[in-house]
Structure formats: structure tokens, C-alpha cells
């Protein structure tokens, strides 16, 4: 079977089902999807809250904890130690299947009863009590990532250390406010850069040292807004640029305008075959997917890496797995459908928060078990027979192959990652019967220092400054500068930020992309070897919207441009 055109029941737009996707649907005997890739992604991301944390009490031991669930969530919360202890048994919440009712509704009743752990922390984590979605890391604060150390306000930052305010960084050290960057050191305000050292305000650059305000340069040193300088002249200009806040902001604004004047490549796809999407590395047969690394046969997915194969519509899957459909947060899993927050498991359907298990259907909080349905233990033959009936019933109700509806998410929509990509007003979310968090915490009016009294030069800021309460210039919430954050700012000679970390993240997201593709034509009209005429006619799919002002080039024209 080749490509099949389908229409989304949510937006009506046409989307394509590829033969590689059909292979996975056939494995699960699932019908054609009814949502386009964008609305399917939005539904999954509504079940992930990375950074909004709330004070709760462990409902088993009674101690105060931080949790990703607010007190208004339907979730019962245990601390990490209690959840993984033998003091409770998930099978004690077992339910019998009622064929007269929706299976998803019965799963939801179970999810409301079974305790969840407070934070998603996998492996051995130390000093990470304020971090969620963290894996084998140390001394990280309000950050998510894998095997990292000393992160402050970072998201999706893996194998890195001593970074602040970074989003999607890999194998980096001492970075500040960098996006989609890798293998870089002691730099700030990088966007889509790799192997850069001691650089500031650079975009789409590789293997550069001591560069400032540069765009699309490779293998350079001592460049200033793409101009080659001597070492002495570069250091003189750098000293002036970083001397105080006023000079720093002048260059921040100058770089933004300079960057807009130069073309961008339609997508970052490197050493990959047959791939559409963006940020795809060392992969093969990738369709409409984003942040894919070392993977094969991936469709409509976001952040799938390190050994995954045969995946359709998955988000946040890392470190070995195969044959996954419509699932979320799945390290070391295989043969799973419609599930989220699993680990080291296989043959799981419509289950969550279950680990080291096999052959589960509609289960919550199961560990080291097999052949359970709605947390009830069955023999293998009983399980197979009942599962067959349930799948048939789910197909008749249009449930099999669909992810859980947003209305069953334990998070307010505005707390979820979905909101960061697909923003929505409160009234619109409530009209869809989705959850909304009206009190996301924070205090106002308690500031101990006014912004005009903050030293304009970071060298003049004392170590005791971390005791001060600041007032965000955007949302007015109070915030502090963390100790590690101050160390990073001083090392990089960056002035104290006047916005809270949440408002800085929203600004940072403008340097990122919405995971959605648009068909566009290359905008290059220069004469060069990539095309004979005055205007390139190459067609590609890109995350740059047609309404945006960027000059978007195909890969061939972009390479001609930068060389």
C-alpha cells in the first residue's frame, strides 16, 4: 500500500498516511487515524506537565512534597519513596470490565483512584528535588533532561552540565539561554549551533570560537557580525559589548535585526535518509517528525531518540524501543499503544505509570506484573480472551487506536506542554471540557530590590544578591536569582535578567518552532551552481510559516549562501 489521504475530524485538513505508518497500524490491528498529526500531538502533550510544580502532601506518609499535580487535579499523590515501596498494592484497586460502558471511561475511574508518584524522576537523581522529567542527573533546579548536572531552568537538556535557561541542548557545558544547540561550551544566546566555544548571539553556526553576533558561519574564529577581526580587535569590542546592561541590550537588538536579514535553511536534517520534519539526525525513513535521533521508520512524532524503530505518533521516547503507537514518555518499551509514562515494559495497551511489566490493558501504577486488565490479575488465557473482547468493543466505540481524550488529562491545559505549542484561551479550553489551572502559584509585591537599583554590570553584583526578591518586568511576579544561576551569569559576564524564568522561557520559544510543516518554495533568487535560473524552484516542507518574513532556502541554496 502507498500513501493514503485522510481528513482530520478536528480541523478538516488533509493529512497523509504512509506505508511505514500502515505497518504499525496493522501490527495493532488499528483503524486509520482520525486526527491529523498536529491535533494528535496536541492531545498527547496535554498529558505532560514539565515545569509547573505544586506543594502537596504525600497521601501515604503525610510529608510535604512538590508534585506536578495541583490540589485541584483528580490525582492522588504519593512521594517517590512511598510510591515505590511495598506499603501499597496497585492490584487492590482492581476493577471488573463492564462491556456496556466505554473502556476509556473505566480506565479514567481507575486513574482517579490509583496513586501517582509526585514527580517523574527515573534512575538515581541527587539534588533534583525541584525537577520533573529528570533522568539520572545531579543538582538540577526546575529542569528536565537526561544524565545532566548543574542545570537551572533548562528544558530537554541532555548529557550537559552547568547550563541555565537552555532549551533542547545536547552535550553542552556552561551555556546560557541557548536553543537547539549541541557540543558547545561557555557560550550564550546560541540558536541552532554546534561545536561553538566562547560565542555570543550566534545562529546556525558550527565549529566556531570567539564569535559574536554571527549567522551561518562555519570553522571561524574572532568574527563580529560575520566580519573577520584580529584577536585584539575582537577582544576590544567584546569588552565594550559586555561592559553593562545598556551595551548588552543594544547588541541583543542589533543581532535580532541582523539575523532577520539573512536566510535560514528550511530544516535541520543531517546524515539521514528519506526524512521530512526538522531536527533529524542519523535517522532513516522519518515522516513529519521533529527531534529524531538515531531512529528508523518514525511517523508524526516528537522527540524520539537513541535506538527507536517503527514508531507512529509518539512523543518523548528515548533509549531503545520499537513498535509504538499513540504514546507518550516511553523509555525502554516495545509493542505499546495508547499509553503514557511507562518504563521497561512491553505489550501494554492504554496503560500508564507502569514499569517492568508485560501484557497490560487499561492499567495504572502496575509494577513487575503481567496479564492484568484494569489492575485485575488474570491467567494468560483469561487475559487473551478478555482483551480480544475489549478491543472489539473499543473498535465499535471508536476508541481503539485513539489516545486518551484531553478532558481526562490530570493537568490544567495551561500547565501542559501542549499549551506551550498550541496556546488557547481559558474560555475556549473550558468550552471543550478540558481542565484549566486558575492558580499557578507565585507571589507579587514582595520584592526587596527595584530593578533600577540592580547593578548594570554583573561584576558589581554581590554573592548575597541571591537573597533578594526581584519583580518581573513582564508579569510582575516575584523571583530570585539562584546561586548556580549567578555563577553562570558572572562567568559569562551577562547582566542580571529583569524577567522571571517563565517569561524568559516564553521569549525563548520564539526562537523555536511549532512542530507543524508547511509546503513552501525556495526563496533564493541568486545565480549559483544550485540552480540555473534566477529563481530556485525547489519545493520543500518546513516549519517556517508562509506568513513569516524569514527568507527560507532549500538545502542546496543555503549551502551555497554560507560558503
SS (H, E, C) 190-259: EECCEEEECCEEEECCEEEEEEECCECCECCEEEECCEECCHHHHHHHHHHHCCCHHHHHHHHHHHHHHH
Name the DSSP letter for residue 160: -
- pLDDT tens profile 27-47: 999 999 999 999 999 999 999
CB-CB contact of 342 with 351 (8 Å):
yes
Q: Quick one: average pLDDT of 356-370? A: 98
Strands 552-553 and 264-265: parallel
Instruction: Answer whether residue 65 is part of any domain.
Output: no
The reported pTM is 0.95
Q: For residue 291, how many other CB atoms are within 10 A of its CB? A: 22
Choose one of 211, 235, 265: the last residue of a domain. Answer: 265
Q: How confident is the model at residue 317 (pLDDT cuts 50, 70, 90)?
A: confident
Instruction: Answer whether residue 284 is part of any domain.
Output: yes
Instruction: Answer whether residue 106 is part of any domain.
Output: no
Q: Say how far apart CA 305 and CA 339 lie, in whole Å.
A: 18
Residues 472 and 496 in one domain: yes
Label residues 184-200 b or e (16+ Cβ within 10 Å = b). Answer: bbbbbbbbbbbbbbbbb
Residues 418 and 482 in one domain: no
- pLDDT tens profile 465-515: 999 999 999 999 999 999 999 999 999 999 999 999 999 999 999 999 999
Structure confidence at residue 1 (pLDDT):
54
Q: Say how far apart CA 540 and CA 517 lie, in whole Å.
A: 9
Residues 383 and 472 in one domain: no
Please state, in angstroms and as integers, the Cα–Cα distance from residue 124 to each residue in 51, 146, 223, 261, 356, following that order: 20, 11, 42, 46, 17
Biggest alpha carbon distance in the chain? 79
Nearest to 247, CA basis, from 451, 455, 456, 453: 456
Q: Say how far apart CA 131 and CA 414 lie, in whole Å.
A: 19
CB-CB contact of 509 with 484 (8 Å):
no
Choose one of 225, 250, 265: the last residue of a domain. Answer: 265
Residues 247 and 393 in one domain: no
Residues 295 and 402 in one domain: yes
CB-CB contact of 280 with 292 (8 Å):
yes
User: What whole-number percentage of the chain has pLDDT above 90?
Assistant: 94
Count up the domains in the chain and report the number: 4
Residues 417 and 481 in one domain: no
- pLDDT tens profile 259-302: 999 999 999 999 999 999 999 999 999 999 999 999 999 999 99
- Looking at every residue in the chain, the average pLDDT score rounds to 96
Structure confidence at residue 540 (pLDDT):
97
Residue 309 bridge partners (DSSP): 296, 322
Residues 275 and 288 in one domain: yes
What backbone phi and psi angles, to 5 degrees, belong to 302? Answer: -140, 125
Residues 407 and 475 in one domain: no
Choose one of 475, 496, 511: the last residue of a domain. Answer: 511
Residues 502 and 527 in one domain: no
Structure confidence at residue 562 (pLDDT):
78
Q: How large is the angle between the packed helices 380-396 and 103-113, nearest 10 degrees?
A: 120
The residue range of the domain holding 189 is 129-265
- pLDDT tens profile 156-207: 999 999 999 999 999 999 999 999 999 999 999 999 999 999 999 999 999 9
Instruction: Answer whether residue 51 is part of any domain.
Output: no
Residues 287 and 416 in one domain: yes
The distance in angstroms from the start CA to the end CA of the chain is: 42
Instruction: Answer whether residue 53 is part of any domain.
Output: no
Residues 294 and 176 in one domain: no
Q: How confident is the model at residue 530 (pLDDT cuts 50, 70, 90)?
A: confident
Residues 242 and 317 in one domain: no
Amino acid at each position: 500500500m502507498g500513501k493514503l489521504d485522510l481528513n482530520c475530524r478536528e480541523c478538516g485538513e488533509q493529512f497523509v498516511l504512509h506505508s511505514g505508518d500502515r505497518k504499525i497500524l496493522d501490527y495493532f490491528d488499528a483503524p486509520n487515524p482520525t486526527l491529523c498529526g498536529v491535533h494528535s500531538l496536541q492531545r498527547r502533550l496535554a498529558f505532560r506537565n514539565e515545569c509547573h510544580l505544586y506543594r502537596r502532601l504525600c497521601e501515604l506518609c503525610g510529608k510535604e512534597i512538590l508534585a506536578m499535580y495541583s490540589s485541584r487535579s483528580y490525582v492522588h499523590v504519593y512521594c517517590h519513596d512511598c510510591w515505590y515501596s511495598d506499603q501499597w498494592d496497585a492490584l487492590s484497586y482492581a476493577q471488573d470490565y463492564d462491556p456496556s460502558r466505554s473502556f476509556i471511561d473505566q480506565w479514567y475511574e481507575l486513574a482517579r483512584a490509583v496513586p501517582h508518584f509526585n514527580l517523574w524522576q527515573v534512575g538515581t537523581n541527587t539534588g533534583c528535588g525541584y525537577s520533573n522529567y529528570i533522568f539520572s542527573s545531579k543538582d538540577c533546579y526546575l529542569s528536565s533532561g537526561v544524565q545532566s548536572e548543574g542545570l537551572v531552568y533548562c528544558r530537554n537538556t541532555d548529557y550537559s552540565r552547568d547550563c541555565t535557561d537552555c532549551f533542547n541542548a545536547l552535550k553542552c557545558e556552561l551555556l546560557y539561554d541557548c536553543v537547539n544547540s549541541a557540543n558547545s561550551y561557555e557560550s550564550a544566546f546560541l540558536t541552532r549551533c554546534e561545536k561553538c566555544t566562547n560565542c555570543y548571539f550566534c545562529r546556525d553556526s558550527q565549529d566556531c570560537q570567539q564569535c559574536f553576533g554571527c549567522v551561518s558561519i562555519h570553522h571561524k574564529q574572532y568574527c563580529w557580525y560575520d566580519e573577520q577581526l584580529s584577536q585584539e580587535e575582537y577582544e576590544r569590542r567584546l569588552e565594550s559589548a559586555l561592559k553593562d546592561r545598556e551595551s548588552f541590550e543594544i547588541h541583543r537588538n542589533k543581532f535580532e535585526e541582523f539575523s532577520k536579514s539573512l536566510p535560514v535553511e528550511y530544516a535541520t536534517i543531517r546524515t539521514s535518509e528519506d526524512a521530512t520534519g526538522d531536527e533529524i539526525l542519523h535517522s532513516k525513513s522519518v515522516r513529519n517528525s521533529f527531534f529524531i535521533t538515531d531512529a528508523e521508520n518514525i511517523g508524526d512524532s516528537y522527540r524520539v531518540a537513541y535506538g527507536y524503530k517503527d514508531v507512529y505518533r509518539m512523543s518523548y521516547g528515548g533509549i531503545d524501543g520499537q513498535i509504538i503507537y499513540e504514546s507518550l514518555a516511553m523509555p525502554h518499551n516495545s509493542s505499546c499503544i495508547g499509553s503514557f509514562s511507562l518504563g521497561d515494559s512491553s505489550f501494554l495497551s492504554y496503560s500508564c505509570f507502569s514499569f517492568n511489566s508485560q501484557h497490560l490493558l487499561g492499567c495504572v501504577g502496575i509494577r513487575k506484573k503481567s496479564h492484568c486488565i484494569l489492575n485485575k490479575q488474570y491467567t494468560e488465557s483469561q487475559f487473551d480472551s478478555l482483551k480480544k473482547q475489549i478491543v472489539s468493543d473499543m473498535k465499535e466505540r471508536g476508541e481503539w487506536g485513539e489516545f486518551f481524550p484531553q478532558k481526562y488529562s490530570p493537568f490544567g491545559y495551561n500547565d501542559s506542554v501542549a499549551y506551550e505549542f498550541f496556546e488557547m484561551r481559558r474560555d475556549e479550553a473550558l468550552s471543550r471540557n478540558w481542565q484549566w489551572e486558575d492558580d499557578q502559584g507565585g507571589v507579587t509585591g514582595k520584592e526587596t530590590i527595584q530593578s533600577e537599583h540592580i547593578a548594570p554590570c554583573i561584576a558589581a553584583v554581590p554573592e548575597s544578591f541571591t537573597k533578594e526578591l526581584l519583580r518581573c518586568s513582564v508579569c510582575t511576579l516575584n523571583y530570585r536569582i539562584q546561586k548556580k544561576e549567578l555563577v553562570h551569569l558572572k562567568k559569562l559576564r551577562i547582566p542580571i535578567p529583569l524577567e522571571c524564568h517563565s517569561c524568559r522561557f516564553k521569549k525563548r520559544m520564539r526562537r523555536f518552532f511549532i512542530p507543524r510543516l508547511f509546503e513552501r518554495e525556495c526563496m533564493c533568487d541568486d545565480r549559483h551552481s544550485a540552480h540555473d535560473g534566477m529563481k530556485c524552484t525547489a519545493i520543500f516542507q518546513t516549519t517556517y510559516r508562509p506568513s513569516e518574513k524569514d527568507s527560507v532556502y532549500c538545502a542546496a541554496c543555503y549551502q551555497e549562501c554560507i560558503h
